[in-house]
Structure 1
Amino acid sequence: MKSVIPKGNSGLGRKTHLLGTKVRNLRKRNNLTLDDLSSRCIRINAEYAPSVSYLSMIERGKRVPSFDMLEVIAEVFQKSPDWFLDDVPEQDDITPDKGSSGGISGMPLEPSFLFTHDILQIAIPEMLSQTGISGRQFAHLLIRAHQEHHQNHFPDLEKAAEEVGMKRMPLSVGELTMLAQQQGLQIKWFNKLPKGFAAEYGVNETSVVTSYFAHPNTICINRLLEKHERRLKYDIAVHIGHSVLHNNDGLKSVLVTGLNQYSVMQGGSNTKVHSSHIDTQDILQAWRDFEASFFAGALLCPKVPFRQLLDRNGYEIQTHEIVNVSASVAMRRMTAVSPYKHWHYFDAFAPGKLKAVYRGNGIPLPWGNMREVADPCQHWAVFRMINTPVTGTSAQLSILNVGNEPRIYCCESTNTKDLAQNSHVLCSGIDLNPAIQAQGGDATSIAHEIKELCVSGGGSAKLPQSIQKQLLSVAKILNINWVERGVQTDPRLICSRGAECPREPSCYSGDDAVIKSTFIA
């Protein structure tokens, strides 16, 4: 194909905002290093081939190649030089390829000059102010994105917990108390919070402060936990985590059970709760809280012993009783210790608040925490369990469109109550598509077939025996009992929003709408 670009940089300058990103993505998708690409360019035309350092500057948008140099790069990838310019803005060409990093797909930060450090510092506070998102909420979004990008694996935190607990499991309250004392911490019980504490930290009436740190080295624990051993163990483990990881330096840790996920502002007045001002200390404290919480899970459920226990018990939720930890701790740890990488986890409160989320593989949310929506999909397992509580646990096989392609999910959900007596649903699930592919199956075709059957069946349908047999085989290889149970039920169509409902007729069409409630998203 003959290029229509005039030679010389003058014809390129205003059309190269996406060029560096396209070069970088092509190089990475072809598993080439900068040195590899430079060498290939040299073999084509040594005179106009870019050096390694110059290639790096091109990819970062610091340099614009001459037309002759661009022709050499284009030839390596068998593209027209025109393809690299802004006039061909194919989204896939500029979207970062994260490979096996996991988590939700990223967006291309292009043109790069609009996503510079200085511009983002100005734009983010304005965005938060206009959308009503607090700085604390934004901090949690950043942390969740970081967690999902790393597929919930933090080896340094695992190692720190193992060095303290010596991989013992289960740990008793007495053993945890001794570990706390080894960190120089003492435990003090309280019946009532100090005057003004709830107002200062934004604790509302739907929540209970279970423990907090008081200088110099005191863990203050609510006497309510004397009758709730599993929560007591978790709180002590979290405070040990703060001590080990952060040396009690400026520690302002307050542990709360209840609905106000973002309302507790560590070390700040309640007036900051609804502010869009981004306080760096708030973001740092939110990150430290996450680290201490992850540490606590790793201390109570060390990776190798807990994985072996889960394996022996087929990943049943009731395994948490053997370790004597809460179901939420055990279910969150499943996502981190399992050899299978493609998990998600929800902790959902009525009417529609997700207090905790781990969104592996970028699964869309049934609702969230930031804004109200009027069309939540009521067929998600967490939705059904909130509205129709069941005894024990419940497995569900679901079909959900993600990026215009149907995916097969299976989850196990259970009802529980927190110490403030708020009912909520815990849900652990996996994306089955990678497991099907790993066994040589065509996950996309199977998902399409199941989806078509469910659409024609009004939203649910019986699995054909051949597909059920294949999925049961995958479930046995994964050794997850509730996946086997889910495969033996009729799969359900679910959607990220009612406006995208694939059912015929739609759940949200005219007078036939099943539900019109308002949820938080």
Structure 2
Amino acid sequence: MRQEQSLLRKSHFLGTKIRNLRKRNHLTMEDLSARCIRLDPELAPSVSYLSMIERGKRTPSYAMLQVIADVFQKSPEWFLDDAPEEEAIVPEKGNRGGISGMPLEPGFLFSGDILQIAIPEMLSQTGISGRQFAQLLIRAYQEHHQNHFPDLERAADDIGNKQLPLSLEDMLDLAARQGLKVHWFQTPKNESGTHRLVTSFLDAPGKLMLNDALRSSPTRMKYDLAVHIGHCVLHRSDGLLHEMNIGPGAYELDPAQQSSSVNAQDILQAWRSFEASFFAGALLCPKVPFRQLLDRYGYEVDAHRLAGVTPSVAMRRMTVVSPYPHWHYFDAYTPGKLKAVYRGNGIPLPWGNMREVADPCQHWSVFRMITEPRQGSAAQISLLDVNGPPRLYCCESVKVTDLAGNNRVLCAGIDLNPAMEAQGMDAPAMTQELKQLCVSRGGEADIPAAMRRQLLMLARILNIHWLERGLQQQARLICSRGAVCPREPKCYGACQAT
């Protein structure tokens, strides 16, 4: 009783501290209540009660405050009046776009009319196809909006009623409601090597052709069905999205079909393909229930089994539904063959589809998983110089095999610097210390115990289990190009003199 009276006397700033701390960690009141419920369902505050606490209308019991404090890895006393709070929190949007933009000056040279003339010539001289240019535009647009497309989310929710999981029978029924009648076709079995495989296409209005190979992969079949349903809902089956493929460069045209000029139809088709693909992910993994699922299982990749989707769909949706905005995602076949990229935190690409690079860094997790004979998933802590001080990343990579027999690596990761700064840590000093330690030990080093404890607290606040696993491994130096390798000795012989 005396403890509760003391709490009441010292709780004048308690609600403000909880609200600032919640916003600092990008959590809604629903998110915080759900996290508390998983820790202690009897003592956890409801959303309405949490709202009253934050507005100073209610004071939680000491036991309830303990639950809230555990979510943020703080002591209950931190929330009381005599504990100073860090400066007021205004959550930042983060880095808009995958790379830094440039000022468009003088403005008259960047008018729409001039760009319409210059861009086709630029693409022709550089050998970049209209389809590749469209992918670059779409990725920049996606990253600028930090993967938030509420209109597409709502359209998917209206069709699927936010049901998770959706069975194959559910998907076939939804396809039939859109007037799609399924037919099957077969393709010859692939020989060894790297292959592309047509998995489905619209043969005529209402006639959906599915590859017989999809029968062995219900999750991939559901994805194909979801994309075509999205095309019906969003684009009224106008026939532009006529084919779906798997394999390296599946989004590109065959070389015989490519032209040195920009085809406006290619850009429109690429955009509509993106919309239908995003719709498919939102239909199969609706935002609210999927976030709740991931939150219960600490964002483990294996949560895809409970959602009834492929690992790639689940990992791409992580970047959308997570309250933490600083994610990246790679879907790679071999170096130089990226099927999908998302860089909401501005991480540089280790390679690109526009041109081959002579010195790609081999220490990225996605590279190592491609080249090393290992299965399963792996977490990695990485240090990378990005326009100044080093940044700390953690990712989870998993090797999978597609229906055409190709090995792929899926990689989802987060930029840790914003999370470190949100908890009052000196991120530049910590990352610089860890970088120097790695440099002195050939590029990899154990994370110092004190720093590991701080980052472990961060992992529990973010509720990402593979971050905890990554902290048990050595941190690795990575770079966007081998020519700027920070390791001693450097990875590439040509870099020795630099």
Task: Give the TM-score, by structure 2 length.
Answer: 0.78
Establish whether residue 324 from structure 1 lines up as the match of residue 305 from structure 2. Answer: no
Aligned-residue offset at 1:101 = 3.9
Distance 2:266 2:251 in 1: 11
Aligned-residue offset at 1:111 = 1.5
Structure 1 residue ranges without an equivalent (≥5): 1-96, 194-203, 514-521
The residue that corresponds to 1:236 in the other structure is 225
Aligned-residue offset at 1:207 = 0.5
Distance 2:462 2:384 in 1: 21
Aligned match for 2:408, one of 424, 433, 454: 424
Alignment of structure 1 residues 21-170 onto 2, 5 Å:
101=96, 103-170=98-165
Aligned-residue offset at 1:250 = 3.5
Q: Contact 1:103–1:361 at 8 Å: present in 2 too? A: yes
Higher alpha-carbon Rg: 1
| Change in 2 beyond 3 A, CA 1:125/1:296 | same
SS in 2 for 1:127: helix
SS in 1 for 2:199: strand
Aligned-residue offset at 1:232 = 0.4
Distance 2:161 2:97 in 1: 30
Aligned match for 1:348, one of 303, 324, 332: 332
Look up the equivalent residue of 1:492 and give its one-letter code: R
Look up the equivalent residue of 1:453 and give its one-letter code: L
Q: Contact 2:230–2:280 at 8 Å: present in 1 too? A: yes
Q: Contact 2:202–2:239 at 8 Å: present in 1 too? A: no
Q: Contact 1:253–1:289 at 8 Å: present in 2 too? A: no
Alignment of structure 1 residues 287-436 onto 2, 5 Å:
287-436=271-420
The residue that corresponds to 2:168 in the other structure is 173
Distance 2:455 2:134 in 1: 39
| Change in 2 beyond 3 A, CA 1:278/1:155 | same
Aligned-residue offset at 1:271 = 4.0
| Change in 2 beyond 3 A, CA 1:99/1:425 | closer
Aligned-residue offset at 1:461 = 1.1
Establish whether residue 489 from structure 1 lines up as the match of residue 473 from structure 2. Answer: yes
Establish whether residue 189 from structure 1 lines up as the match of residue 208 from structure 2. Answer: no
Look up the equivalent residue of 2:316 and give its one-letter code: R
Q: Deviations over 1:399-420 (max 9, x none)?
A: 0011122100000001111111
Q: Which has the higher contact order (CA 8 A, sep 6+)?
A: 2
Q: Contact 2:397–2:410 at 8 Å: present in 1 too? A: yes
Look up the equivalent residue of 1:174 and give its one-letter code: E
Distance 2:96 2:247 in 1: 32
The residue that corresponds to 1:281 in the other structure is 265
| Change in 2 beyond 3 A, CA 1:503/1:299 | same
Distance 2:261 2:426 in 1: 48
Distance 2:204 2:491 in 1: 55
Aligned-residue offset at 1:447 = 1.0
Q: Contact 2:384–2:392 at 8 Å: present in 1 too? A: yes
Aligned-residue offset at 1:104 = 2.6
Aligned-residue offset at 1:511 = 9.7
SS in 2 for 1:372: coil
The residue that corresponds to 1:214 in the other structure is 203
The residue that corresponds to 2:78 in the other structure is none
Aligned-residue offset at 1:451 = 0.8
Q: Contact 1:185–1:219 at 8 Å: present in 2 too? A: yes
Look up the equivalent residue of 1:227 and give its one-letter code: S
Q: Contact 2:401–2:407 at 8 Å: present in 1 too? A: yes
SS in 2 for 1:430: strand
Q: Contact 2:98–2:143 at 8 Å: present in 1 too? A: yes
SS in 2 for 1:458: coil
- In the comparison of the two structures, how many residue pairs are matched? 402
RMSD: 1.9
SS in 2 for 1:361: coil
Distance 2:365 2:179 in 1: 44
SS in 2 for 1:214: strand
| Change in 2 beyond 3 A, CA 1:476/1:99 | closer
Look up the equivalent residue of 1:259 and give its one-letter code: P
Look up the equivalent residue of 1:113 and give its one-letter code: F
Aligned-residue offset at 1:512 = 7.8
Look up the equivalent residue of 2:285 and give its one-letter code: C
| Change in 2 beyond 3 A, CA 1:317/1:106 | same
| Change in 2 beyond 3 A, CA 1:184/1:459 | same
Aligned-residue offset at 1:214 = 1.7
Look up the equivalent residue of 2:246 and give its one-letter code: T
Q: Deviations over 1:295-334 (max 9, x none)?
A: 0011101101000000000000111111121100000000
Q: Deviations over 1:69-125 (max 9, x none)?
A: xxxxxxxxxxxxxxxxxxxxxxxxxxxx98664543211111212212222112111
Task: Give the TM-score, by structure 1 length.
Answer: 0.74
Q: Contact 2:94–2:326 at 8 Å: present in 1 too? A: no
SS in 1 for 2:183: strand
Aligned-residue offset at 1:185 = 1.2
Question: Percent identical across equivalent pairs?
Answer: 64
The residue that corresponds to 1:476 in the other structure is 460
Look up the equivalent residue of 1:176 and give its one-letter code: M
Deviating more after overlay: 500-509 vs 288-297: 500-509
Distance 2:346 2:260 in 1: 26
Q: Deviations over 1:124-170 (max 9, x none)?
A: 11111111100110000000000110111111101100000000011
Aligned-residue offset at 1:205 = 7.3
